[in-house]
């Protein structure tokens, strides 16, 4: 019963948060400088004033802002995100078409950063004053300090220009197969540089956090007890210490999911990756309000869901945390 109350409370909090984000996004987008109709007119080389007014009426931009907000909220609650001004397609369809590419990039980058970063952090904690630990620390500082777009450009110069091993644009080759094993390998080949670019900063952060957490846990009494009972070093580090040391890493991983999506916008722009980030970037340049709001809403829902999943994972890993 306590678990049910907890779930209902978290669900109510998540729904309230998403509604607040919807209203805030709408107000910020519509109060920002710029006019979608003027952007459309510029792309067409100009249009008459009558056509401008007709477009404003068609898009509902001639109505007061509170009325526009009410209409938008009503549409969202009914599952209608509107129609793109530029693509002339439902926003929900545009998002669903781009979601697989973004999820592939984000999940690959975050999972790789988590696994490799945690492993490096454990290695660095085994001999804190050793050469390996110092090298991992230095590389972590460099990786964490480098901006995402700079890392992407450097990787392009190194592995696409100087040493042409990987493609630099898109998700598939111009003449590659779109299905079967060949298509999968083609996508993975294009995925390497964007995923490394997005994941390297988080890999550095997770390795530093794991190292610090492991050093703290290894001083605990139960670790000394495990060693006194004759447990192997592997069991001490990976069965006893890592289970508790990884908790802060998982927490940060969930809380940083929004930052990962923000970084994905830069990465997808640099590598022309056909995901939500690229869609959001193009929509901002075109003042495509429905598409901007749709991508922001979807990203907000992903962040809220990820935070809830992180909370549950935290409770599963650490049984000392009670639902109440």
> Hey, what domains does the chain have and what are their CATH numbers?
91-317 (1.10.3720.10)
For residue 317, what pLDDT is reported?
Answer: 63
Give dist(CA 188, CA 306) in Å, integer.
25
Residue 100 in tokens:
């697989």
Residue with tokens 């590659």: 176
At residue 3, the pLDDT reads: 65
The residue-averaged pLDDT of 132-156 equals 82
| Average pLDDT in the chain | 82
pLDDT for 324 equals 45
According to the model, what pLDDT value does residue 322 have?
54
Name the pLDDT band for 177 (thresholds 50, 70, 90).
low
More confident residue, 101 or 180: 101
Residue 105: φ, ψ to 5°: -65, -50
DSSP 8-state assignment for residue 241:
I
pLDDT confidence tier of residue 171, bands split at 50, 70 and 90: confident
> If we measure between CA atoms, which residue out of 160, 159, 156 comes closest to residue 148?
156
Which band of pLDDT confidence, cut at 50, 70 and 90, is reported for residue 178?
low
Cα–Cα dist 135/198, whole Å: 22
Strands (E) in the chain, as ranges, are none
CB of 91 closer than 8 Å to CB of 283: no
pLDDT reported for residue 137: 80
């Amino acid at each position: 019963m306590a678990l049910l109350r907890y779930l209902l409370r978290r669900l109510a909090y998540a729904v309230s948060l998403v509604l607040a984000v919807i209203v805030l996004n709408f107000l910020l987008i519509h109060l920002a400088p710029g006019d979608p109709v003027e952007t459309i007119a510029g792309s067409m080389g100009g249009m008459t004033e009558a056509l401008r007014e007709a477009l404003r009426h068609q898009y509902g931009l001639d109505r007061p802002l509170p009325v526009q907000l009410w209409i938008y909220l009503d549409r969202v609650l009914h599952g209608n995100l509107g129609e793109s001004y530029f693509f002339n397609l439902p926003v929900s369809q545009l998002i669903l078409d781009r979601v697989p590419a973004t999820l592939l990039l984000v999940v690959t980058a975050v999972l790789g950063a988590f696994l490799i970063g945690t492993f490096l952090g454990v290695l660095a904690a085994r001999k804190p004053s050793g050469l390996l630990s110092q090298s991992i620390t230095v590389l972590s500082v460099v990786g964490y300090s480098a901006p995402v777009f700079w890392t992407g450009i450097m990787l392009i110069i190194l592995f696409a220009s100087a040493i042409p091993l990987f493609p630099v644009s898109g998700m598939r080759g111009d003449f590659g197969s779109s299905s079967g094993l060949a298509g999968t390998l083609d996508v993975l080949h294009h995925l390497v540089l964007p995923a490394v670019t997005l994941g390297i900063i988080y890999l550095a952060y997770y390795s530093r956090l794991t190292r610090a957490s492991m050093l703290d846990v290894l001083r605990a009494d139960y670790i000394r007890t495990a060693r006194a009972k004759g447990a192997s070093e592997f069991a001490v580090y990976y069965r006893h210490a890592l289970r508790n040391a990884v908790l802060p890493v998982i927490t940060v991983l969930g809380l940083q999911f929004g930052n990962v999506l923000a970084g994905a916008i830069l990465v997808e722009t640099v590598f022309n990756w056909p995901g939500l980030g690229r869609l959001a970037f193009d929509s901002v340049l075109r003042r495509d309000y429905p598409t901007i709001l749709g991508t922001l809403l979807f990203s907000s829902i992903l962040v809220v869901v990820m935070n809830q999943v992180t909370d549950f994972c935290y409770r599963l890993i650490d049984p000392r945390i009670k639902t109440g």
